[in-house]
Copies of this chain bind each other. A is one copy, B any other.
Amino acid sequence: MTLYLVNGSTDAQVSPLDRGLAYGDGLFETLRVHRGRIIFLEAHLARMQAGCTRLNLQFNTEAFRPDLQQLLSREQPSDGVLKLVVTRGVGGRGYRPTAETSPVRIASLHALPPESASPGNAFVCRQRLSLQPALSGIKHLNRLEQVIASMEWPDETFVEGLMLDYNGLPIEGTRSNLFVVHKGTILTPDLPACGIAGILRQYLIEKLQPEVFVEAFDLHTLLDADELFFCNSVLGIMPIAAVHTESTIVSFRETAVTELAKQIFRTALQTC
Contact A95 B150 (CB under 8 A): yes
Contact A25 B144 (CB under 8 A): yes
Contact A146 B16 (CB under 8 A): no
Residues of A6-59 at the interface with B, using a CB-CB cut-off of 8 Å, are 6, 13-25, 28, 30, 55-56
Q: Tell me, in angstroms, the Cα distance from A87 to B16 when the chains sit together.
A: 11
Residues of A60-114 at the interface with B, using a CB-CB cut-off of 8 Å, are 81, 83, 85, 87-88, 93-97, 106, 108, 110, 113
Out of B17, B83, B142, which one reaches A2, CB within 8 Å?
Answer: B17
Query: Which one of A133-141, A180-188, A197-205 is at the interface?
Result: A133-141
Determine whether A143 belongs to the interface, using a CB cutoff of 8 Å to chain B: yes
Q: A55-B148, A166-B131 known; A143 and B25 CB under 8 Å?
A: yes
Q: Tell me, in angstroms, the Cα distance from A145 to B144 when the chains sit together.
A: 14
Q: Tell me, in angstroms, the Cα distance from A135 to B151 when the chains sit together.
A: 15
Q: Tell me, in angstroms, the Cα distance from A141 to B89 when the chains sit together.
A: 15
Contact A93 B83 (CB under 8 A): yes
CB-defined contacts of A141 to chain B, threshold 8 Å: 21-24, 144
How many chain A residues have a CB neighbour from B under 8 Å?
56
Q: Tell me, in angstroms, the Cα distance from A144 to B144 when the chains sit together.
A: 12
CB-defined contacts of A22 to chain B, threshold 8 Å: 28, 85, 141, 143
Determine whether A263 belongs to the interface, using a CB cutoff of 8 Å to chain B: no
Q: Tell me, in angstroms, the Cα distance from A130 to B19 when the chains sit together.
A: 21
Determine whether A121 belongs to the interface, using a CB cutoff of 8 Å to chain B: no
Q: Tell me, in angstroms, the Cα distance from A22 to B21 when the chains sit together.
A: 8
Q: Which residues of A contact B (CB under 8 A)?
A: 2, 4, 6, 13-25, 28, 30, 55-56, 81, 83, 85, 87-88, 93-97, 106, 108, 110, 113, 127-128, 130-132, 134-135, 140-151, 166, 174-175
Beyond the given pairs A97-B151, A135-B145, 17 more chain A to chain B contacts, judged by CB atoms under 8 angstroms and listed by A's residue number, are A16-B85, A16-B108, A17-B108, A21-B87, A21-B141, A23-B24, A23-B147, A24-B141, A25-B147, A56-B151, A88-B147, A95-B143, A97-B147, A128-B132, A128-B134, A130-B132, A134-B148
Closest 8 CB pairs of A and B: A24-B24, A130-B130, A23-B143, A142-B142, A96-B150, A95-B150, A130-B132, A95-B146
27 A-B contact pairs sorted by A residue (CB < 8 Å):
A13-B14, A14-B18, A14-B21, A16-B85, A18-B21, A22-B85, A23-B143, A24-B24, A24-B144, A25-B147, A30-B93, A55-B148, A56-B148, A56-B151, A81-B93, A93-B113, A94-B113, A95-B143, A95-B147, A96-B147, A97-B151, A128-B134, A131-B166, A134-B148, A135-B144, A141-B144, A142-B142
